[in-house]
Structures are given as structure tokens and as C-alpha cells.
Structure 1
């Protein structure tokens, strides 16, 4: 129970751009992000101002996968950005077993009012061999580096690399390494990147294998975004059937989801 409570303190339920190596120029991460063609940014209102509320990956025509704790703050007609274009939310579907301020089942789907143009739809990864795979993380949330931690927000899109080191039933895990153990563009998600994708490229296709959920900062004395933290992403292969079934069933629903949303990011 003590470990559970400590981990709970490490979760950012406001939105979680990418936190990078301190010894690599930030411009390299921004340049890497230009190759992304599958990620969207959600916006919300915080203290009367527009902020990045989370991130998601486009997985089907007008459908985005994200985290349930991000979807909690999304509202119909809410603003969604893909590259330089903007779209609106039609509906939000959180996993039926997700509970607020809880770890499990942190997955959700967002339906947009229109199809995203000129997008590369990310396929859902269905195999259980994620361990050891190199992933690409993309986001526009708060940025920082492994020494200073999270330092602020500039709403620039960044992309980084990491390696899956742990696989649990619902989770994929990877660490923020430094020095010789780090990849050239090593990085992790930051506040505002929650719900963001972990992509892999296989046979010239883009697959989403995980969704940014929470970060264990016990190793850094509860300091987010520093070297040594452990990322936990909701595992797409575990939720693949629910995702596909939800999208399929939506075709037969004449009425939109009736749950109530707020556009305030806490």
C-alpha cells in the first residue's frame, strides 16, 4: 500500500513537451518532430488561458487514442491541432473500467468532427514482443531536460527516442537514461504529453504501441522529468480489442456519448 501511495504522488493528472537530454541541442528534437505525421494536440482552459491539455495518436478515420485521465478534461467542440490545422471534438469515450486518480485502464478514444487531412494513420500494435523495441515519443507539452527537470511550456512539437525495458500486463515501461546508456535523442514525456503515443516503425508502417500515462519519480525524490524516472505507458496490445470494438460499435450509434465533460484543466 505504501508503494501504491508513493507512486500515486508521482502521477501528473494535469496534462503531461518532451523532456530531453541536457547535452543535446533542443533544435535536434524539434527537427526530429517534423517527421511525425500521426500526432494531435488537445487544448483546454486553465485559469482562463488556453493550455495544452494532452496528446493523442490518429488510429482511424477521425479517431484518436489517448489516455483516460486526459479525456476527463476534454469537451465536445474542443480544439485539436494536427500540424498547422485545427479540428474539433465530436465525442469522447473513456475505458469503462477506468476510475479517476487510479492507475489501471488509462485509455480513451476521441472522435473528431471531421477526418484529418494528409495524415498517416498509426496502426494498433497487437503483438506481445514490445520489450527491447526502440520507440519514438511525440508531444507539445512542457519541456525540460534530465538535469533541470521540467522548465516550462512553449507549445513547440518535439520528438524523442527511448527503449522499452519492461512489460507488464497493462503497461510498457522505459527509463530516462543519461551518458553512455542514453540514445542519441533520448527523452521522455513531460506535463502536457499525457496520452501521447509511443510509435514503432515496422515494414514501413507506423504502429502505436503505448499511450503516455504516468511517471514513477521515486528514484529522483519525486522530481518529475529528471534522469532515472520510469515512464509507464498504457499498453496498446492489451487494449487493442476494446479499441477496435468501440470504434466498430460507434458506427451503429445514432446518438453521441451522453457523458458530461469539462474543459477545465486542473
Structure 2
């Protein structure tokens, strides 16, 4: 009989066990909800960077500042957004490239991972809303990659994906964009409406990413400049990069936003989310804590391959200012994807270290 006593539980023990089981059920249920939400949010849709309930041509109209998206109080000018194209170092028979933004008459700001794969002698910059029918082409004269950048495989989460392209001649007919040239100038922009532009690859070919969301502009490839809006969900300044026993003084930074769906059910950066998408394999835990509104912008979107290096605009005071450049995110680029973008203000000192009296960069004080 004594042996049977060990199999009996008191009422207090039963209550305790029931409580533990309930907690486990809640935790498992929460985990499963997040997993199911991730499945619904990502990898399932053909949206690929733009809202399916909006005509895709409107994103082109915004990128070209066609009516009713004329530049001014409500919308920035996207004319400074350029296409960067050149022969791939890995295979000169192929073309590599991305996007960038004019910040001075001879200077283009872009992503490090865009220029590191380009042959300098065969790299060109196109001005205009359609780079297949560009208004002008300019030759690249030099690349300046951030010294803390160590390549896509290791450095993307650290916020050093930034580079400058020096042109061989001055650009004419396009006003350079103002940029965040102070390290604290964008601190108060959390929750602000932002606009992003670039020359994303929506061409329909065998290895394209866009699937049923591919676009056709009548040319051999899709070559339009597009723009979209979003809400700035995170502003991050990251610790200085550790390099062996030395701690470099230069710090990285990200601006982060997500792609909310029209039904407001896709909001991965909301408070308490897991920070990892099981079905796309995207880890966005390094976006840090915070919250995010589920309400999409009228032309809500997110970057796709080809948009890398393109600018993020926000209004600082009364002036539209480039505060970031597109860096990386989920390949699927559908509802629920998260976009990480290099924060420019934390790199203002490095940008201005490249400037000189002979080759000045607007926004830098020349000695």
C-alpha cells in the first residue's frame, strides 16, 4: 500500500501541475501562432514588393514624379535616384548592378555590396526614370567602400553596407539630394512616413524572383525607376565593430521597416514577435525591440533585388533628406517581409572623410 502512496497527488500538487501545463500550452500555442503567422505572411504571395490591390503603374508614376506625385511638400524628387550597371568581376559576360543616389555633382551614394561585384573600368551610372532609355550615362571613376565592410556573408547585420562612387565628370541637369550629414539628425523620425526608390528587377525570365508579379514595360527587360512608401519602424545605432583586439571607432546603423498587407494582418515588427521567419529563413531579430503599426501606406512596398543602394527619403524640418540606403531583407519581398537599410547619419564622418576641396561632397565642411 505504501508504494501506491507515491502515485497519489495532493490537491495542491494537482493545482501546481495544472498551472505548469497551462503555461506550457500557452507558450506552445503562442509559438505555433507565430509560426502559422509567418507562413501566412511570407513566401505565399505574388506581391513581390508592391500591394496587389494597387495598380503597379502607380509605383512607376511615383518614381518618375508624374502627376499626382509631383515633387514638393508631399513627395520628394526621385530624379537623383540612379541606376548603376557594369560588368561583373566574377564573370565579365554578365551584368551586375543596383541603384544609388546623387548627393553631389560627382558623387553617388550606394551600397557596398553593389559596387564590390563591379569591374570599375566597365561601370556606368544612368540618369532618368527608365535606364534602358536613359537621359544620360556617366562613367565611374573610383569606388570608396566603407573600411569596416567585410562582405555580404558576414557584415550585413552590422550596418556597414555603404559605399561612394566618384564619377569621371560632373552630372548636369539633376539636383543632388540633401543627406543626413549629422549623426543625430534623424533621431526623432521613428514612425515617420518614408519614401524609397530604386530600379528593382521585375523582368520575367527563367531565373527571375518575381514569378507572377513580374512587370513588363515593353522593353527587353523591365528598367523603370519605381518608388514606394512605408513607415519607419526602427532606428538603430550599432556598437563599434570588434576587429581582433582593437575596437574600431566607426559604428554601423540600420533603418528598418516591414511590408504590411492591406488587411493589416501582416506585421512582423510588432511588439513580441519572434524575430525569425521559419518559412523564408529570414532572421530579423537584430532589428531590436519596439513596435510597428499594421496599417499600410497607400503605396506600401519593400525593396527587391536591384533596389539595393537606392535612397530612403524622410522629411527633416521642411526638407526631404536621404536618411538611408537599401541594403538587404527577405528575397521573397512579400507581405510580412522586413527591410534593413544602412543608416546614413552614423556614417556622416566617414562620407566626409572622402570629400576634399578638389572633389567636394555637398553637405561636408571643407577644410
Taking structure 1 as the reference length, what is the TM-score of the superposition?
A: 0.78
- Of 104, 107, 116, 1:60 maps to 104
Structure 1: tracts of 5 or more residues without a match: 1-17, 218-222, 253-266
- Of 109, 120, 123, 1:78 maps to 123
Cα gap change, 1:116 to 1:251, in 2 (>3 Å): closer
Distance 2:174 2:349 in 1: 23
Match of 1:257 in 2: none
- Of 209, 213, 229, 2:323 maps to 209
Whichever structure has more strand as a proportion of its residues is 1
Cα gap change, 1:191 to 1:250, in 2 (>3 Å): farther
Given that 1:56 and 1:197 are in contact with CA atoms closer than 8 Å, whether structure 2 keeps it comes out as yes
Deviation at residue 129 of structure 1 after TM alignment: 2.1
Q: Larger relative contact order (C-alpha < 8 A, sep ≥ 6)?
A: 1
Deviation at residue 52 of structure 1 after TM alignment: 5.7
Distance 1:250 1:161 in 2: 37
* Residue deviations 1:235-254 (CA, integer Å, cap 9, x gap): 011111111121237749xx
Cα gap change, 1:191 to 1:86, in 2 (>3 Å): same
1:19 and 2:49 matched:
yes
Match of 2:150 in 1: 99
* Residue deviations 1:32-91 (CA, integer Å, cap 9, x gap): 111221111011346666646111111112101111111102313512101121111000
Given that 1:199 and 1:209 are in contact with CA atoms closer than 8 Å, whether structure 2 keeps it comes out as yes
Give the secondary structure class of the aligned counterpart of 1:78.
Answer: strand
Match of 1:237 in 2: 345
Distance 1:50 1:202 in 2: 40
Whichever structure has more helix as a proportion of its residues is 2
Give the secondary structure class of the aligned counterpart of 2:340.
Answer: strand
Taking structure 2 as the reference length, what is the TM-score of the superposition?
A: 0.57
Match of 1:30 in 2: 60
Given that 2:87 and 2:94 are in contact with CA atoms closer than 8 Å, whether structure 1 keeps it comes out as yes
Structure 2: tracts of 5 or more residues without a match: 1-47, 66-77, 129-134, 204-209, 216-220, 238-252, 265-294, 361-367
Cα gap change, 1:176 to 1:48, in 2 (>3 Å): same
User: Larger radius of gyration, structure 1 or 2?
Assistant: 2
